[in-house]
Amino acid sequence: MDLGIAGKWALVCGASKGLGLGCAQALVREGANVLIVARGAEALQTAATNLIADSARPAGAEVLFVAADITTTAGRAAVFAVRRDFDIVVTNAGGPPPGDFRDWDRDAWIKAVDANMLTPIELIKATVDGMAARGFGRIVNITSSAVKAPIDILGLSNGARSGLTGFVAGVARSKLAAQGVTINNLLPGAFDTDRLKGTMKGAAEKTGQPLEAVLDARRKTIPAQRFGSPEEFGAICAFLCSVHAGYMTGQNVLADGGAFSGTY
């Protein structure tokens, strides 16, 4: 299927590895030009090099990168200094740490809200009017399956991402919807990423179990009996960014291997 986004410009955040990189790879393979951003300069440059070397990348698809913290005003300014207009924006920032809500002070909450709610809103605000003027725009916010099925130790993430979800539910149904701009949230469950491995490693150390035993137990809670791959997550993202998804907006698309057991 031709997704119809060849030549479009995409901004992909948190794209040095994991789900963000999976999204960037899928978009590049569809012929989109991408500007990838992440904090780690070395990992980001490696990611950009690999994207350029990807044999599935059409010759005309450009790859640019900016090492910056997208959750800061200075980081966003650095990105927009390289390019101002984007047809596609994939927002993504590392989730806040797990813990007991009794231990989180105001600063912890502000940091979580700033990274996982206000940063995507700032990126949306900076790009949607240009998208609307051109008659095409796709924004995909990478949030979390915990928005639908909250996890008690991830309260900072639950709260901040739920705030973003509520905001998107409104703005996606504004006049932007009739101007060719869609805004959707993509909710990952358990994917094979460094973040998952880090969380499982912590659980293994806490319980004294071998890491592989903890990973295997986690897999068994998922109907698909496996973790998702960044590549298949990226493919879902690319479809949401395509011309074929123009009638989907304000949606929360769950990719979790069937782990959420609700009917709706």
For the cut 90, the answer to whether the pLDDT of residue 78 exceeds it is yes
Residues ≥6 apart with Cβ < 8 Å to 213? 204
Dihedral angle, C-alpha 140, 144, 148, 153, nearest 10 °: -160
- Phi–psi pair at 246, nearest 5 degrees: -65, -15
Q: pLDDT tens for residues 165-176?
A: 999 999 999 999
Q: What is the mean pLDDT of the chain?
A: 95
Which residues make beta-bridge pairs with 140?
90, 184
For the cut 90, the answer to whether the pLDDT of residue 47 exceeds it is yes
Q: pLDDT tens for residues 114-133?
A: 999 999 999 999 999 999 99
Beta strands 137-142 and 181-188, pairing class? parallel
Q: In the structure, how many helices (H) and strands (E) does the chain have?
A: 9, 7
For the cut 90, the answer to whether the pLDDT of residue 200 exceeds it is no
Please answer whether residues 92 and 19 qualify as being in contact, where contact means their C-beta atoms are separated by less than 8 angstroms: yes
Predicted pLDDT at 264 = 85
3 state DSSP class of 179: helix
Q: Which residues of 195-212 are buried (b: 16+ CB within 10 A; e: fewer)?
A: ebeebbeeebeeeeeeee
Q: Which residue has the tokens 């948190």?
A: 14
